[in-house]
């Protein structure tokens, strides 16, 4: 499988003018604002039109170092539908700029299943993340200015929870002290920076359904609490920040239209983290897709325990979305790693390891099915996979109640996704799924967490630190007991222990903190340490990047 | 003079599609990348075409709290030339986002002489400042990562001079400590944030003449120095950061095309500070303007002592530009303040105060003339100005060797600038100016500073703190003795004492520090404290801003 590098494929591609791509889904000049020749923002009104499309979620088994290719499969599947003559639209997240300079380089699919223009999408794109950064920074500046100007709201500086943000892997900003220098230079306090996908403004933008809804959610952000035993929450609206923040997001809120490598329409919009946030592209982009496409392919972060659960219980709930089918991406390499095989030995047939690891797939199938979803396992094929291995996975998938098809979209583009696409079309032809969320948001917080741990993770329930117990009582006391719960835990295991691969049983998940993300409309239950500001490696990928005389880029792989 | 608010005028304006504006100056679809319907970036190649236009600099007397209207006059003058049938192009700076939320609201001209779309230009525009922010942040992250990963370059963390940046008025970030939290979280050190117009990357972008030149300048940035007595400078190129930084600026480097309120072409590009940097729009935008326009109107920050001097000695020197005429903006109100009148009493005729203050105008006329420039004083007229006052200013201007004309562009748009425009046309018809910089860059640093203080400020020379003495010796030792000098001093006085209005004499300027801005290609001589991170006022303007249901903005005045 000799495939050129992602950027080589991307730069060799002949892009269609985005106006042509738009025309194909019925969008004219009035529906678009161009950002160069190959990117556009669509009108917000598009998201208010009635949905006509079927919604297909792409999710995955637990990720491993071997890689699964969820985004690549999503792009390839959208391309495959188009090859079959369907009016398919792709809806995925925007990548963050920071990680581009670290280890991994670009992130917009791979091989012959990418979204283009790959370099722009990975760099500033249409400026959405910068706008989110500005809106976030404005609230931070207004908050510290309030302290500086006399603190009329009686905010306890030790209890400020609103961080600062930057879209860069900048380890040295994880923990800082600000406001030094004397009375004219602010109030001294501890502060932390998070990378922009971890910003609550990102989650809000991804969940907002209109300008008004955006402003209201921004106003609901809790930035900290007052001095005193009652710890009254302080909202962004108490600082009158929500209007100006919404103003800064007036263009960022509009979905971005780009194209797949094969020239099909793709909405790439918003990119919240998949652990401390809900890990999905924006509701507005998905709605826009459903308004103009017959089939909308979308994805959610990490495995089905994190991404799909949040897609179903948070995004679909808030957005009134009814997904019609699901695709579960797996690789034999990753299943073997789940069964204990070493990363260096994945090229060898290993039916023992596969047998031990395939239980992870079985669990994810059961998980997706319990939401009422019909699904296809897309086995992302590598040339090292043997027939015996493929047969074993196929049998396991069928036994667990899923269809299965091979996917080769990385090497073959849409052509390589036709088998999966046909299975999805068959599900849709037979009436699709009977989706329902897994819990009632009105249940007490602990009961919701318990439901997720037992049903989605296959565990025996949750244990709570003293801090988490206090936090839950506090959140219920300030009226946040009836929101969905966003679980923040490791993506590598169904449990909260990254080393427990496969399908662990008999475990409890430890919730060490629970905190409000009240603007977005959920609370986060944190299980373990979650990194919200990455660092750079010893030799950052940035060192090889350059812009050439003609303005083209090299080194962004 | 009852003129509606700036944003009311801006929102009532009927904008031309930017493609139409572009066509008028000979630019077709291949020369442009659209950013929505009313903004575009032009091709870099434009700046390489031969110059055909005449270059007119707009400068001013020392600014006061009464305001002079330099940007407004620049816009109005470009509109006036267009009313006279001339192919005139405006080239001005981009405003910074941070101050928008503080006291002043928007900054893109005023009244009937604005650049549009005013709201976009004041907010994210085409993302240039965000790109600069990212490039700046990348270098900071790579620098601290170098310390974290073993500090092979032997950088002294106490001598790091590269700050962090954010485009927000955020007082609490002026002085911070970063890298707290233990060995995995960076190296603890003092840090400071500057607002983005104070970033060296901004100055570099404004002075770069090609992609290659950009990358080279970025590589030349000095970020600090090594441990040890020799204090070897550490450059951005030592961290291999310049290529990725240039990549992040690949679109930001291209000039932005927008329009004046009367539909004429305007390049609005880059916005370095006028004190610690050179305060002019980009060389590339000015060159692009000269390639497509017959007359290019541009401006420089603050009064002629700061902005015009740097325009002549830094921008024109680096860009190979030969300005043909100058316009010096003055108001009777400001001249009366320079003569000691109180801000509350400027509406009353006060010939005594005016007589005392008009010397400031006389000095600025002499200053501009000594660069070989022919000039027109544009007296920005207020309805409170009396005939006797106007007569006094006219006489003083003529005596000092300048033409004079009244300007009413705020209230009347281009029509109000025709008198000034006609004087400029007469200068051009008579052969224009004989421009030359005021000093030879090869002179020793102190001699250059001395020349500026004596000739440009009218002082008796400079005094140097011990720190400045050491810094000068160090800079000369590392090969930075032969760059232009960028003076950082108060804009309110010709001297370095903000309270000395009018035309002070017998003063010396105290240089308290001198530091390299080696990427931009100059050194800064700092006289007094210069604020590089503003704060928000007690009630920030942000509190009144909102976005309405239709996506339009309110509160951005």
pLDDT of residue A403: 96
Per-residue pLDDT tens digits for B365-392: 999 999 999 999 999 999 999 999 999 9
H or E stretch covering B142:
helix B128-148
Report d(CA A87, CA B299) in Å as an integer: 52
B13 is in an annotated binding site: no
Kindly state whether A212 is in contact with chain B, defined as any CB-CB distance less than 8 angstroms.
yes
Cβ–Cβ below 8 Å for B144 and A211: no
Residue A33 contacts B, CB cutoff 8 Å: yes
Query: Cβ of B482 under 8 Å from any chain A Cβ?
Result: no
Residues of chain B contacting A33 with CB distance shorter than 8 Å: 34-37
Stretch A225-231: mean pLDDT, rounded?
93
Question: Cα–Cα distance between B71 and B106 in angstroms, integer?
Answer: 12
Q: Tell whether residue A68 is among the known ligand binding residues.
A: yes
Q: Is the pLDDT of residue A445 over 70?
A: yes
- By Cβ distance, the residue of A540, A546, A547 closest to B145 is A540
**CB spacing of A186 vs B178 below 8 angstroms:** no
Query: Which of A244, A533, A541 is the mutation pick for testing B, counting most B CBs within 10 A?
Result: A244
A525 annotated as a binding-site residue: no
- Is A246 annotated to bind ligand? no
Q: Rounded to whole angstroms, how far apart are CA atoms B414 and B411? A: 9
**What's residue B271's pLDDT?**
96
Question: If you average pLDDT over residues A114-119, what whole number do you get?
Answer: 94
**Do the chains contact at B211 and A124, CB–CB below 8 Å?**
no
B5: region left, alpha or beta (phi > 0 left; psi from -120 to 50 alpha)? beta
pLDDT on residue A6: 84
CA distance B32 to chain A (A): 8
Residues linked to residue A191 through DSSP beta bridges, in sequence order: A176
By Cβ distance, the residue of B33, B177, B185 closest to A174 is B185
Distance CA B100, CA B88 (A): 29
The domain B6-126+255-429 having CATH identifier 3.30.720.210: the answer here is no
CB contacts < 8 A, A to B, total 250
8 Å CB contact of A542 and B142: yes
Confidence at residue A68, expressed as pLDDT on a 0 to 100 scale: 80
Query: In the predicted model, is pLDDT for residue A105 greater than 60?
Result: no
Q: Please say whether the beta carbons of A503 and A303 come within 8 A.
A: no
For all residues of chain B together, what is the average pLDDT?
95
The pLDDT value given to residue B453: 98
Does residue A427 contact residue A324 with C-beta atoms inside 8 Å?
yes
Q: Mind spelling out the 3-state secondary structure of B157-172?
A: HHHCCCCEEECCCCHH
What class, spelled out in words, does domain A129-248 have in CATH?
alpha beta
End-to-end CA distance of chain B: 18
Q: Determine contact: B124 vs chain A, CB below 8 A.
A: yes
Query: What token pair was written down for B366?
Result: 């002499």
Q: Mean per-residue pLDDT for B172-201?
A: 98
Q: Does B37 touch chain A (CB under 8 A)?
A: yes
| pLDDT over 70, % of chain A | 99
B123 → chain A, closest CA residue: A248
CB interface of A with B, residues 388-417, below 8 Å:
none
Give me the half-sphere count of Cα atoms (radius 13 Å) on the Cβ side of residue B156.
14
Q: How confident is the model at residue B105 (pLDDT cuts 50, 70, 90)?
A: low
Q: Which helix (H) or strand (E) holds A236?
A: none
Is A378 near chain B, with CB under 8 Å?
Answer: no
Q: Is B45 on the interface with A (CB under 8 A)?
A: no
- Residue A21 φ/ψ, nearest 5 degrees: -60, -40
Is the CB of B103 inside 8 Å of chain A's CB atoms?
no
Mean pLDDT value of segment B111-120? 94
CATH hierarchy code of domain B445-527: 3.10.410.10
The complex's ipTM? 0.96
Token pair listed for A275: 């652990």
B65 annotated ligand binder: yes
Q: Is the pLDDT at B48 greater than 70, yes or no? A: yes
Number of residues in chain A: 557
CB contact under 8 A, B551 and A124: no
Instruction: Provide the residue ranges of all domains of chain B, joining segments of one domain with +.
Output: 6-126+255-429, 129-248, 445-527
Please tell me if the domain spanning B6-126+255-429 has the same topology as the one spanning B445-527. no
CB B161 within 8 Å of CB B226: no
Q: Is A176 on the interface with B (CB under 8 A)?
A: yes
Cβ separation B171–A187 shorter than 8 A: no
The secondary structure of residue B280, as a DSSP letter, is: B
Residue A241 to chain B, least CA–CA distance (Å): 6
Question: Is A41 assigned to a binding site?
Answer: no
pLDDT attached to residue A65: 77
Decide if B149 and A538 are in contact by the 8 Å CB cutoff: yes
| Angle, CA of B442, B444 and B448, to the nearest 5° | 85
């Amino acid at each position: 499988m000799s495939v050129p590098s992602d950027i080589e494929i991307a730069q060799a591609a002949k892009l269609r003018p985005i106006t042509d791509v738009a025309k194909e889904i019925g969008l004219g000049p009035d529906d678009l604002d161009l950002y160069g020749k190959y990117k556009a923002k669509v009108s917000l009104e598009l998201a208010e039109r009635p949905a006509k499309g079927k919604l297909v979620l792409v999710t995955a088994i637990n990720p491993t170092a071997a890689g699964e290719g969820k985004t690549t499969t999503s792009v390839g599947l959208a391309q495959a539908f188009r090859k079959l003559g369907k009016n398919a639209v792709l809806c995925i997240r925007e990548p963050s700029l920071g990680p581009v300079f670290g280890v991994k380089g670009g992130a917009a699919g791979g091989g012959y299943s990418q979204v283009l223009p790959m370099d722009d999408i990975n760099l500033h794109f249409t400026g959405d993340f910068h706008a989110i950064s500005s809106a976030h920074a404005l609230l931070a500046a207004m908050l510290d200015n309030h302290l500086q100007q006399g603190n009329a709201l009686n905010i306890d500086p030790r209890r400020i929870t609103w961080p600062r943000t930057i879209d860069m892997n900048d380890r040295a900003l994880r923990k800082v002290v600000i406001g030094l220098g004397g009375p004219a230079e602010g109030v001294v306090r501890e502060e932390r920076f998070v990378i922009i996908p971890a910003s609550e403004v990102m989650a809000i933008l991804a969940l907002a359904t209109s300008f008004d809804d955006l402003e209201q959610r921004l106003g609901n952000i809790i930035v900290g609490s007052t001095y005193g035993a009652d710890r009254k929450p302080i909202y962004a609206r108490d600082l009158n920040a929500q209007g100006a923040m919404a103003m800064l997001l007036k263009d960022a809120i509009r979905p971005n239209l780009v194209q797949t490598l094969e020239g099909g329409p793709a909405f790439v919009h918003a990119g919240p983290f998949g652990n401390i946030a809900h890990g999905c592209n924006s509701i507005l982009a998905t709605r826009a897709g459903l308004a103009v496409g017959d089939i909308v392919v979308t994805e959610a972060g990490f495995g089905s325990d994190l991404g799909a659960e949040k897609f179903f219980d948070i995004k679909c709930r808030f957005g009134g979305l009814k997904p019609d089918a699901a695709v579960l991406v797996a690789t034999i390499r990753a299943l073997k790693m789940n069964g204990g095989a070493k990363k260096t030995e994945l090229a060898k047939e290993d039916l023992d390891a596969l047998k031990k690891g395939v239980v992870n797939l079985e669990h994810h199938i059961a998980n997706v099915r319990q939401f009422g979803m019909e699904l296809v396992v897309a086995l992302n094929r590598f040339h090292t996979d043997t027939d015996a291995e493929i047969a074993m996975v196929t049998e396991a998938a069928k036994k667990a109640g899923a269809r299965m098809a091979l996917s080769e979209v990385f090497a073959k583009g849409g052509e390589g996704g036709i088998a999966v696409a046909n299975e999805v079309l068959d599900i849709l032809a037979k009436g699709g799924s009977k989706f329902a969320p897994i819990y009632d948001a009105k249940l007490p917080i602990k009961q919701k967490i318990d439901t997720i741990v037992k049903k989605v993770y296959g565990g025996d329930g949750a244990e709570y630190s003293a801090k988490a117990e206090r936090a839950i009582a506090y959140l219920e006391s300030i009226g946040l007991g009836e929101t969905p719960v966003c679980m923040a835990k490791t993506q590598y295991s169904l449990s909260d222990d990254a080393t427990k691969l496969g399908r662990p049983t008999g475990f409890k998940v430890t919730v060490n903190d629970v905190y409000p993300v009240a603007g977005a409309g959920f609370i986060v239950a944190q299980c373990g340490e979650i990194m919200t500001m990455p660092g750079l490696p010893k030799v950052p990928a940035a060192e090889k990047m350059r812009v050439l005389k003609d303005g083209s880029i090299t080194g962004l792989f």
